């Protein structure tokens, strides 16, 4: 039954979302936006994808894919269901819903860089109209939706909660995870007003198995930060424990596996050569920056950040010590880095600690190569430049290096072959469970 205070635009929007006649606009067709597009197309919505990269647009419109775990046949099915990609923001007015999925990196001073979010919103605003919902999925600090997006909407005469509806619903994608996908990962949603939350629940309800409402966009924004800070802090803890265990000649991976047998009160986190990805190395700094505006110092979060940031240097220290024991130096040594994506079995290199390891080794005079079946050619990056291609692994190539550094434990690597032929292996991922003479845990 319709409440007499329910805005007409809201009822019309909800009706179009319920009968799936609404057009869904996904703005930003990367690791978050593309899976979301596929999901909406799969449940019967017409989807318009908007991206500033004309190469991505052309690829998608020809039913191609540029993300390894998304297959061209999935794009082809979406195209057959009416999906279209465009670089033209003028078309935003065709959409009933606009979902922003763009990056939120840090600037050179490790402060939030909202340029992608704000630039995208400024490009959309001239073409927005009454009856639309705008959802921000990009991870950000509490207050962004209210303080940055709402005033911009209202400056164009669109009353939020009456004419247009504004929500924050953080992305929870985990590329390469076979156990969860866009449909099955619960979706948190917070609205600027009660009407906005209604619209947000109607937007995500048809596509996601479970939508979790929270009281505000700020609560939704902080929820996402808590999730990722929880991981960053616990990874910092096990990284510190790894250093302690190493000094005591104890294998931290054995300890974690044993602790994980406890059926309550313990969650296993695993150490590594540093933090990678678009969330864990970045998101804590969004909260520390915002907390300073309230006169607060996030000591716990920043300590974990320090530990995690130091891990690449600790790994290189172990590598240097291991070479010294063999009467070799880092300078002049040949080092093969295995895996330069930030996590196992994906091609995503954002914030990958492998690249920092390569930079440190190169600065110390080592000759550095890499092997990664998911990254055949080292891509152009803003901060890193390596003119390299992935080395094919065989007995001879492995044996030709002074050190093989396992940075990312891709399933495609033949670890038995590596152990049999490598002179020295630095294992940062706990690949080798049993002690081997040529393996050093780092």
Q: Name the nearest CA neighbour of 169 among 151, 182, 155.
A: 182
By CB atoms closer than 10 A (0-12, 13-18, 19+), residue 249 is: exposed
| CB neighbourhood size of 113 (10 A) | 17
Beta bridge partners of 120: none
Q: How far is CA 221 from CA 146, 151, 283, 285, 286, in A?
A: 11, 18, 11, 14, 10
Q: Report the C-alpha dihedral over residues 29, 34, 37, 39, rounded to 10 degrees.
A: -170
CA angle, residues 328, 331, 335, in degrees to nearest 5: 80
Kind and range of the H or E run holding 48: strand 46-50
Q: Rounded CA gap, 160 and 152, in Å?
A: 10
| Sheet-wide strand order for 367-371 | 367-371, 334-338, 403-406, 425-427, 439-441
- C-alpha distances (whole Å) from 271 to each of 231, 315, 354 are 11, 11, 14
Is 189 a known active-site residue? no
> Residue 222: CA atoms inside 13 Å, Cβ hemisphere, count?
11
| Annotated catalytic residue within 95, 101, 189, 279 | 279
Active-site residue list: 279
């Amino acid at each position: 039954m319709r409440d007499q205070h329910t805005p007409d635009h809201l009822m019309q929007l909800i009706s179009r979302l319920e009968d799936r006649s609404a057009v869904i606009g996904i703005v930003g067709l990367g690791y978050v936006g593309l899976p979301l597009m596929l999901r909406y197309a799969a449940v019967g919505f017409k989807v318009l994808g908007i991206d500033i990269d004309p190469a991505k647009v052309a690829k998608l419109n020809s039913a191609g894919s540029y993300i390894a775990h998304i297959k061209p046949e999935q794009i082809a099915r979406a195209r057959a269901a009416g999906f279209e990609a465009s670089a033209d923001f003028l078309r935003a007015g065709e959409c009933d819903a606009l979902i922003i999925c763009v990056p939120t990196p840090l600037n050179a001073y490790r402060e939030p860089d909202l340029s992608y979010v704000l630039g995208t919103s400024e490009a959309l605003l001239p073409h927005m109209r009454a009856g639309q919902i705008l959802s921000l999925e990009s991870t950000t600090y509490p207050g962004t939706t209210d303080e940055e997006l709402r005033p911009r909407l209202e400056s164009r005469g669109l009353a939020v909660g009456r004419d247009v509806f504004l929500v924050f619903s953080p992305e929870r994608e985990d590329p390469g995870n076979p156990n969860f996908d866009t449909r099955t990962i619960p979706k948190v949603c917070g609205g600027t007003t009660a009407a906005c939350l209604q619209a947000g629940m109607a937007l995500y309800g048809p596509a996601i198995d479970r939508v979790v409402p929270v009281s505000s966009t700020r609560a939704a924004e902080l929820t996402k930060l808590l999730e990722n800070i929880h991981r960053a802090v616990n990874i910092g803890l096990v990284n510190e424990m790894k250093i302690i265990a190493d000094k005591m000649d104890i294998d931290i991976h054995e300890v974690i596996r044993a602790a994980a047998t406890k059926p309550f009160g313990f969650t296993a986190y695993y150490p590594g050569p540093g933090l990678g990805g678009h969330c864990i190395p970045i998101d804590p700094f969004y909260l520390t920056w915002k907390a300073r505006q309230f006169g607060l110092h996030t000591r716990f979060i920043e300590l974990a950040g320090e530990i995690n940031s130091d891990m690449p240097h600790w790994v290189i220290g172990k590598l240097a010590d291991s070479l010294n024991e063999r009467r070799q130096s880092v300078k002049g040594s040949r080092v093969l880095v295995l895996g330069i994506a930030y996590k196992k079995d994906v091609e995503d290199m954002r914030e990958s600690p492998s690249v920092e390891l390569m930079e440190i080794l190169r600065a110390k005079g080592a000759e550095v190569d890499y092997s990664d079946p998911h990254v055949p050619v080292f891509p152009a990056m803003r901060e890193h430049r390596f003119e390299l291609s992935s080395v094919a692994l065989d007995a001879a190539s492995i044996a030709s290096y002074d050190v093989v550094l396992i940075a990312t434990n891709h399933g495609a690597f033949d670890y038995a072959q590596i152990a049999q032929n490598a002179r020295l292996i630095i294992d940062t991922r706990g690949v080798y469970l049993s002690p081997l003479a040529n393996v050093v845990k780092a």
